[in-house]
Structure 1
Amino acid sequence: MSKILLAGATGYLGGYILSELLRQQHEVRVIVRNRTKLEQKNYEKVEVIEAEITKLESINNCCDNIDFVISTVGITKQKDGLTYMDVDYQANKNLLKEAKKSGVKKFVYISLLNGQKLKNLKICEAKELFVNELKKSGIDYCIIRPNGFFSDMSEIFYMAQKGRVYLFGDGKYKANPIHGEDLAVVCVNSIENARKEINIGGPETLSQNEIASIAFNIAEKEIKITYIPNWIRKIILFIIRTFTSQKFYGSIEFFLTVLSMDMIAPEKGKHTLEEFYGNLKNNHM
């Protein structure tokens, strides 16, 4: 089988990709910041490099004898004072440089659905700058564009458990978020796929109202939804952009923006949001 370098293996999606790579019996090398986070998952067959991808010298020759690279590297929660440009752009650029130097066959990068249209958002700006670097690099590539994870929908369930869900607008915008396990299959299979870009979502396209209804049903609560006018969302965006740093507002800016638009991608996968909310309920109990 092929030998794969996975960057971001200890993250939400990276963990599922690592499991899928091993299930398909690939040889795997991973780059992690903290080795102990990986060892807790008992991946004895995995070759581990402990390094800071934001520092080029720390990943020197990391791609030697590697056939394919898969990168999920990106900031999901702000920490260590790093910016989106430091991580989503520069860290991936460092990895790409090593991949080219070592003659890697293909580089698979996980970005965001509609990232090209949302470059005014800090997270999308950094990701799309790297996408441009990848496209002009000369190396074969595939850009995976998921429209959101089930885990992003967790807060709606927790609100439902408390008895009331708050939505911006009228709750009619639609999305089909995907489970990490389903997305991991697409990511791993993309190494042998000729497509350059893959937009991908989960198996069910639902409005925000429908998502809230599922959450209330699983939580066994009466449906109570409060709709917040869109102008309030715009004021919140203005305030956080004006009075806080991008290290604070980047992720909030992204979610407040995508909540006011349809985020629909080709349907794929087997896991449903109802199943996910059921697991959240069981784990909470």
Structure 2
Amino acid sequence: MNTKQVLVAGATGYLGQFLVKELKKRGFWVRVLIRKEAQKKIFGNVDDIFIGEITKPHTLDGVTQNIDWVFSTVGITRQKDGLTYMDVDYQGNSNLLKEALKDDVEAFQYISAINGNKLRQLKIFEAKEKLVDELKASAIRSCIIRPNGFFSDMKDFLNMAKGGRVYLFGDGQQKLNPIHGADLAQVCVDKMMVKSSEESVGGPDVLTQNEIGELALKAWNKPIKISHLPDWVRRGVIWFLRTFTSSKIYGPIEFFLTAIADDNVANTYGTHHLKDFFESKVAK
């Protein structure tokens, strides 16, 4: 039985739910931070549920009371409710950090993303890395996790492949090693336990975008048809969206289109394979 009492913020998200399961499996006392009463039904086996909005500091009073470790997976992929990356990824997490400092929490883990420190010009990373800087400069022990793309993000390949063809920018030789949420959750807990300060985390298979496209087409039993679009199209789309739309629209697309232009290979972990994930999704 672990004697540590932990808080998971962002508990209702893809990674958050796996993290809660992993922590409970290892015997931790777990409190989850959720936004709405209706979300309570997601968590059958947690020890405490705290309802509050990370963007409204007055609703967080007491959230980190008697807590040893905070795990925050809070961030927005699709901006809604009129909130920006700065409102949520930075300010929301900063509000949580202030509570943790007030209550003398021992350690705070924050989930950023692979190469975020090198891509600060992107709206999403400008906010995430501002939080990373603040966390590292604070009096709390920090642990920064930089995961590669999640398996759930790779469903875009699968959705494309369903139509019989995958479209890629450039030659499709850029490499990445996406990771399953269950594998990432294990690493998150392990890294807190060994007091790691920072880690990049990817899955066991390093694949090119062409290979991911092939896996997606094979999962649907389709012939391998991959079209390569010239890279100027990708750059043009980013320019167009940045010029004519708000960060709410271009933020996630800019992030995706910038990330796919380079290799993104993180340290390899885990036992889940993308091929199996694709096949299980198609079977459903």
Q: Using structure 1 for the length normalisation, give the TM-score.
A: 0.97
Match of 2:81 in 1: 80
Note the alpha carbon deviations across 1:12-47, whole angstroms, 9 max, x for none.
1101001111111111111111232241x3424331
Match of 1:22 in 2: 24
TM alignment of 1:1-285, pairs within 5 A: 1=2, 2-39=4-41, 41-283=42-284
Secondary structure in structure 2 of the residue aligned to 1:15: helix
| Structure 1: tracts of 5 or more residues without a match | none
Opposite residue 5 of structure 2, the aligned amino acid is K
Given that residues 84 and 123 in structure 1 are in contact (C-alpha distance below 8 angstroms), is that contact kept between their aligned partners in structure 2? yes
Q: Distance in 2 between the 1:44 and 1:262 partners? A: 39
Secondary structure in structure 2 of the residue aligned to 1:275: helix
Q: CA deviation at 1:144?
A: 0.3
Secondary structure in structure 1 of the residue aligned to 2:30: strand
Q: Distance in 2 between the 1:58 and 1:172 partners? A: 47
Residues 186 and 227 (structure 1 numbering): CA distance in 2 closer, same or farther, change over 3 Å? same
Q: Distance in 2 between the 1:247 and 1:23 partners? A: 37
Report percent identity of matched pairs: 51
Q: Distance in 2 between the 1:42 and 1:253 partners? A: 34
Q: Using structure 2 for the length normalisation, give the TM-score.
A: 0.97
Given that residues 201 and 268 in structure 2 are in contact (C-alpha distance below 8 angstroms), is that contact kept between their aligned partners in structure 1? yes
Given that residues 162 and 217 in structure 2 are in contact (C-alpha distance below 8 angstroms), is that contact kept between their aligned partners in structure 1? yes
Aligned residues: 282
Q: Distance in 2 between the 1:193 and 1:96 partners? A: 21
Note the alpha carbon deviations across 1:193-251, whole angstroms, 9 max, x for none.
22200111000000001111111111100011111110011110011101110011111
Q: Distance in 1 between the 2:122 and 2:43 partners? A: 37
Opposite residue 12 of structure 1, the aligned amino acid is Y
Q: CA deviation at 1:149?
A: 0.5
Q: CA deviation at 1:189?
A: 1.8
Note the alpha carbon deviations across 1:129-156, whole angstroms, 9 max, x for none.
0000000002101000001111111111
Q: Distance in 2 between the 1:72 and 1:248 partners? A: 22
Given that residues 32 and 46 in structure 2 are in contact (C-alpha distance below 8 angstroms), is that contact kept between their aligned partners in structure 1? no
Q: Which runs of 4+ in 1 moved over 6 A?
A: none
Given that residues 35 and 48 in structure 1 are in contact (C-alpha distance below 8 angstroms), is that contact kept between their aligned partners in structure 2? no
Q: Distance in 1 between the 2:117 and 2:46 partners? A: 38
| Structure 2: tracts of 5 or more residues without a match | none
Q: Distance in 1 between the 2:47 and 2:170 partners? A: 47
Q: Between 43-52 and 93-102, report the one with greater CA deviation.
A: 43-52
Q: Between 193-202 and 172-181, report the one with greater CA deviation.
A: 193-202
